[in-house]
């Protein structure tokens, strides 16, 4: 009988254990914390958006893009959905976003724990792994309390994101013990810090925008959605989806900027369109100050900031506003530019950019190309996704691929 050891009691670790278990093997989960699945409980503010209908490669990032193309497929999408069905999760689908029908993350936690119990999977808590070696065909796993021999090992130890839940980056050390390359690990799905000093004055503003991420003045990603100004910079789903690319660019010493179009949802994308809008408002509304016009479009704090920046008095009547000033306002509203200085820390990040190099993994099984019988799942791999259920989707998919391999479903 084979013994399989899964290192890490997060969602990908549990899924890997469940998918690997057969009547002919023994599966053990080693979890360093006193409770498993801690990070799962805080996902989606406790509601747990666990999958997305738009499960496509455009929502995933890696240093090795061809690896993503190989595993993010329609066939594998079906496998992920089937897994959740198999453990009793009934979805509520909102605009393509999958939630447990109960709208509680604990529903998924309980389903995973129940399935693991039914399958006879042993869960050892408070057992951080300190060292793994391989002698002949056996892995020797040393924990705080014991030494375990195993035929196969699955490293599902998470990244550095939310270290208070147990994913403190210690798993990378285990990978390096087997000479695996770790692509630089950086915060992703996290808030961005601005270089400028005005953010405290804009803190709390939420605005629907088209946002563009620029690297050395070249647009590399665009999003439409809500952005929130904070006292240090920017937050919101758009910003989170930019943050991994921004982290990497900043690490590579590139100039990172974000441009916001506050009028995109009005169909205004060019200077001429906005100037035409102002002319229409001038004809329609008599004796209105420019601040009156802008306050109908923006948060008043943003209006005040823009007019002050352009040396325009708030009480200036629209009819008295010069064409050059109108053009200057148009530029601010259509291309409001923020220089990015950094990201918030791993403590605030939902996931990470970087991890175990996919060049060293089998692209069908996620088995190590360096050490036979060693597998990887979830965040520890150099793949991450956008907000919206994509990271849990990948965590489950990676576990399924590993499980298929261990059960002998691959050649």
What percent of the chain stands above pLDDT 90?
Answer: 94
Q: Where residue 261 falls among pLDDT bands split at 50, 70, 90?
A: very high
From the CA atom positions of the chain, what is the Rg in Å?
25
192-224: pLDDT as tens digits? 999 987 888 899 999 999 999 999 999 999 999
Rounded mean pLDDT of the chain? 96
Angstrom distance (rounded) from CA 336 to CA 359: 39
Q: What is the mean pLDDT of residues 130-146?
A: 94
Looking at residue 246, its pLDDT comes to 98
Q: What is the mean pLDDT of residues 133-157?
A: 95
335-369: pLDDT as tens digits? 999 999 999 999 999 999 999 999 999 999 999 99
Query: Do residues 400 and 354 touch, judged by C-beta distance below 8 A?
Result: no
Whether residue 404 is predicted with pLDDT greater than 60 in this model: the reply is: yes
Whether residue 257 is predicted with pLDDT greater than 60 in this model: the reply is: yes
Q: Where residue 411 falls among pLDDT bands split at 50, 70, 90?
A: very low
Task: Tell me the two tokens of residue 181.
Answer: 């390359």
Query: Do residues 151 and 1 touch, judged by C-beta distance below 8 A?
Result: no
Q: What is the mean pLDDT of residues 301-311?
A: 96
Query: Do residues 152 and 406 touch, judged by C-beta distance below 8 A?
Result: yes
* Cβ-based neighbour number of residue 28 at 10 Å: 18
Torsion of CA 57, 58, 60, 62, to 10 degrees: 90
Choose the weakest-confidence range: 40-49, 235-244, 288-297: 40-49
Higher-confidence position of 286 and 152 = 152
Q: What is the mean pLDDT of residues 230-258?
A: 97
Q: Where residue 108 falls among pLDDT bands split at 50, 70, 90?
A: very high
Whether residue 410 is predicted with pLDDT greater than 70 in this model: the reply is: no
Angstrom distance (rounded) from CA 120 to CA 21: 8
CB-neighbour burial class of residue 147 (10 A; exposed 0-12, middle 13-18, buried 19+): exposed
Query: Do residues 199 and 230 touch, judged by C-beta distance below 8 A?
Result: yes
Task: Tell me the two tokens of residue 52.
Answer: 């997305």
Task: Tell me the two tokens of residue 22.
Answer: 């057969």
Of the candidates 177, 175, 225, 233, the residue with the CA atom closest to the CA atom of residue 204 = 233
Q: Please state the pTM of the whole predicted model.
A: 0.94
Looking at residue 44, its pLDDT comes to 84
Strand 384-385 with 60-61, pairing: antiparallel
Residue 382 — φ and ψ, nearest 5°? -75, 60
Between vectors from CA 192 to CA 187 and to CA 197, what angle results, nearest 5°? 145
DSSP state letter for 34 = S
Query: Do residues 82 and 91 touch, judged by C-beta distance below 8 A?
Result: no
Q: Where residue 145 falls among pLDDT bands split at 50, 70, 90?
A: confident
Whether residue 409 is predicted with pLDDT greater than 80 in this model: the reply is: no
């Amino acid at each position: 009988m084979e013994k399989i050891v899964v290192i890490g009691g997060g969602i990908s670790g549990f899924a890997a254990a469940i998918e690997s278990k057969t009547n002919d093997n023994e599966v053990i989960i080693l979890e360093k914390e006193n409770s498993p699945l801690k990070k799962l409980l805080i996902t989606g503010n406790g509601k747990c958006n666990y999958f997305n209908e738009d499960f496509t490669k455009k929502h995933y990032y890696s240093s090795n893009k061809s690896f993503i193309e190989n595993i993010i497929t329609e066939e594998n999408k079906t496998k992920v959905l089937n897994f959740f069905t198999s453990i009793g999760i009934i979805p509520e689908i909102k605009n393509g976003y999958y939630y447990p029908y109960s709208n509680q993350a604990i529903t998924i936690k309980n389903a995973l724990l129940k399935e693991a119990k039914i399958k006879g999977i042993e869960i050892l808590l408070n057992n951080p792994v300190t060292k793994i070696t391989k002698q002949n065909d056996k892995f020797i796993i040393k924990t705080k309390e014991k030494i375990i021999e195993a035929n196969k090992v699955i490293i599902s130890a998470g990244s550095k994101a939310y270290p208070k839940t147990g994913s403190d980056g210690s798993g990378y050390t285990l990978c390096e013990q087997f000479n695996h390359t770790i692509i630089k690990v950086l915060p992703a799905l996290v808030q961005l810090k601005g270089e400028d000093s005005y953010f405290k004055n804009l803190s709390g503003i939420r605005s629907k925008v088209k946002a563009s991420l620029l690297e050395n003045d070249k647009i590399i990603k665009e999003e439409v959605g809500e952005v929130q100004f904070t006292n240090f910079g920017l937050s919101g789903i758009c910003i989170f989806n930019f943050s991994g690319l921004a982290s990497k660019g900043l690490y590579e010493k590139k100039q990172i900027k974000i441009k916001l179009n506050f009028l995109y949802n009005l169909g205004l994308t060019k200077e001429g369109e906005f100037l035409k809008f102002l002319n229409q408002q001038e004809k329609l509304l008599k004796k209105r100050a420019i601040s009156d016009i802008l306050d109908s479009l923006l948060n008043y704090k943003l209006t005040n900031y823009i007019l002050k920046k352009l040396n325009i008095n708030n009480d200036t009547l629209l009819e008295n506003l010069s064409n050059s000033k109108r053009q200057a306002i148009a530029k601010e509203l259509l291309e409001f530019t923020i220089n990015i200085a950094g990201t918030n820390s791993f403590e605030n990040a939902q996931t990470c950019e970087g991890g175990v190099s996919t060049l060293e993994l089998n692209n069908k099984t996620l088995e190590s190309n360096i050490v036979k019988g060693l597998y990887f799942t979830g965040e520890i791999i150099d793949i991450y996704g956008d907000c919206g259920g994509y990271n849990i989707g990948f965590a489950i998919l990676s576990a399924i691929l590993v499980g298929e391999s261990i059960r002998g479903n691959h050649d």
